[in-house]
Structure 1
Amino acid sequence: MPSTRRARAVLRFALPLTLIAGAVSGCTASAQGSGADDRPVVLTTFTVLADVAQNVAGEHLRVESITKAGAEIHGYEPTPRDIARASEADLILDNGLNLESWFEQFVQSVDVPHVVVSEGVEVLDITGDAYAGKPNPHAWMSPVNVQMYVDNMVDAFSDLDPEHADAFEANGAAYKAELQEVQDELVAGLSALPENERALVTCEGAFSYLARDAGLTERYIWPVNAEQQATPQQITSAIEFVRADDVPAVFCESTVSDKPMQQVVEATGAAFGGTLYVDSLSEADGPVPTYLDLIRYDSTTIIDALTGGDA
């Protein structure tokens, strides 16, 4: 990493020079040990973006994620190694919409171009608590939106590596077709539900875009990942909604405790429909190793729980 970049990273993050140097040395040694791979490096902020980007990039770019599988993205804190990896990248992709609260300062510490992949998405605002009026960051939870992500990646990768622009375009088109297929399956699977049962009740308000595009009414206990336990008022509000609309099943996300939602289950008699995945993919041998696996898993879980398995 050039000395000017290293200096900026140290000044902005107040990290010991020895840690930065060690991280860079480790990255260099790893690169040397992995053989000669001179493809441009695309670094994403979390695993979902990395998987989508890999489908667009194909074999022509090396795509990596800053965070690991299973990590919670909202409150992530960059490490010296993260800064070193970013400094060696050719392009950084982030979701935007205030998802990566740590990212603005992080990206300013390295002299690498970056692209906000949610650019152009029709944004939904958070409607509750202190976050009201701020954009809901979970735009990737709609396969419709991710098609916009793909278009932005195709453009960014074509600028980065013009020689393979046609391949990026073809890869993007094929992947968008798969995304639309998942979206169509979700809508069809929910089509027979009565209006009052077309409700998606979750722990976190991470499904606003999916609910909008699937014709579901969204309700949640808290709007974004809570640093503290859910309040009695939040739980009571969810209980009242489930009772009033006779909602058959409720859900919770994999990165948070489902204990608050279990209180809703006990108070209403609704079924616990299952665990949904949002912020991260699983390891390769887990249930959601790719984004398409994630959105299909969530869609199937939602459909089966709300329809009683009759879809």
Structure 2
Amino acid sequence: MAKRRGVRGGAVLAGVVAAALAMGGCSALPADDDQRPKVFTTFTVLADIAQNVAGDRLNVESLTKPGAEIHGYEPTPADIRRAAKADLIVNNGLGLENWFAQFVDHVDAPHVEVSDGVEPIDIAADAYAGKPNPHAWMSPGNAVIYVDNLVAAFSDLDPDGAEQYRAHGDAYADRLRGLHDELVTALEGLPPEQRALVTCEGAFSYLARDTGLTERYIWPVNAEQQATPQQVAATIDFVGDNRVPAVFCESTVSDKAMQQVVSATGAQFGGVLYVDSLSEAGGPVPTYLDLIRHDIATIVGGLTGSGGRP
């Protein structure tokens, strides 16, 4: 169900709110003639999933743009003014949006955490050990749970559209289940020595669980972004000891640390994976379904490519 929060402090965001109010009269947003209920999501992946449930009945937008790093995002005065027009705000939860609690405290709109009901996988290492891995959407099976939560929230927001939301949700959930079968089939043929997925961020725990891959990463969540020498050294040791043929990095962070791993081990750089953001419409991953398919193709290509270790 959608939730409301009480007003709380927060010096940084309070300053943003004050700036938004001060700018409101002189830099108002363009007039919006769309009379449909407005739904704002915290990032582009959620916007696409939500749009598939909403159909044409709701105006769905992402607060962050394609390519934005969601973990440490800093809301702007324009974000506050846009969110003030929202009828519903959708966030992931599980600690993904570190900034969201203070942000939503200053916006008079209900919100829904779409990961509610997901069985979390805890982060195993470093400062975040024991906290839930927030990237639950990287399992299409978890995305079905997101869809169910969106159907319920949209039906509360717009009861007249409840039947349509349920129908859209059921149809999209069928596509997600088919996507799950696609990724399992694509990866089931990898031999044991090629089943290690090494990335910059630990964003693939749920996908690795679904497909039987062994996950390793340099840092657990992108809120860190600065790899320590110890993290790089541990990754080098794992790649070298296990003769991992290829390593990967995510689109929203620098691959500099992973390139150190490549130089030290002779593994190939297998390519860029998408997790926290879709691309622009003309890019490689304009939708969530495209994102999962792109990542699977990149992983399989990297781990089985002729450039990998023999």
CA distance in 2, matches of 1:217, 1:67: 31
Tell me, yes or no, if structure 1 residue 192 matches structure 2 residue 189: yes
**Kindly tell me: are residues 22 and 232 of structure 1, through their superposed partners in 2, closer, same or farther at Cα, counting changes over 3 Å?**
closer
Counterpart for residue 21 of structure 2: 20
Deviations 1:6-58 (A, max 9, x none): 9x999961347564253477555331xxxx32111111111110111001000
Tell me, yes or no, if structure 1 residue 146 matches structure 2 residue 143: yes
CA distance in 2, matches of 1:292, 1:24: 41
1:1-311 → structure 2 map (5 Å cutoff): 13-15=14-16, 17=18, 19-20=20-21, 22-23=23-24, 29-31=30-32, 36-225=33-222, 227=224, 229-308=226-305
- Of residues 152-161 and 75-84 in structure 1, the stretch that sits farther from structure 2 once superposed is 75-84
**Kindly tell me: are residues 228 and 290 of structure 1, through their superposed partners in 2, closer, same or farther at Cα, counting changes over 3 Å?**
closer
- Of residues 221-230 and 63-72 in structure 1, the stretch that sits farther from structure 2 once superposed is 221-230
- Of residues 242-251 and 125-134 in structure 1, the stretch that sits farther from structure 2 once superposed is 242-251
Structure 2 length as normaliser, TM-score?
Answer: 0.90
**Kindly tell me: are residues 60 and 248 of structure 1, through their superposed partners in 2, closer, same or farther at Cα, counting changes over 3 Å?**
same
**Kindly tell me: are residues 120 and 27 of structure 1, through their superposed partners in 2, closer, same or farther at Cα, counting changes over 3 Å?**
farther
- Of residues 145-154 and 14-23 in structure 1, the stretch that sits farther from structure 2 once superposed is 14-23
Q: Secondary structure at the match of 1:43?
A: strand
AA partner of residue 230 (structure 2): Q
CA distance in 2, matches of 1:10, 1:23: 20
* 8 Å contact from structure 2 (residues 64, 70) kept in 1: yes
Shift of 1:98: 0.8
Question: Structure 2: which 5+ residue stretches go unaligned?
Answer: 1-5
CA distance in 2, matches of 1:83, 1:187: 41
CA distance in 2, matches of 1:308, 1:15: 48
Count residues in correspondence. Answer: 300
CA distance in 2, matches of 1:140, 1:47: 12
* 8 Å contact from structure 1 (residues 20, 81) kept in 2: no
- Of residues 95-104 and 19-28 in structure 1, the stretch that sits farther from structure 2 once superposed is 19-28
Question: Structure 1: which 5+ residue stretches go unaligned?
Answer: none
**Kindly tell me: are residues 10 and 84 of structure 1, through their superposed partners in 2, closer, same or farther at Cα, counting changes over 3 Å?**
farther
CA distance in 1, matches of 2:305, 2:28: 50
Deviations 1:155-194 (A, max 9, x none): 1111111111111111111111221222211111111222
CA distance in 2, matches of 1:16, 1:228: 27
Q: Percent identity?
A: 66
Shift of 1:228: 5.5
Higher helix proportion? 1
Structure 1 length as normaliser, TM-score?
Answer: 0.90
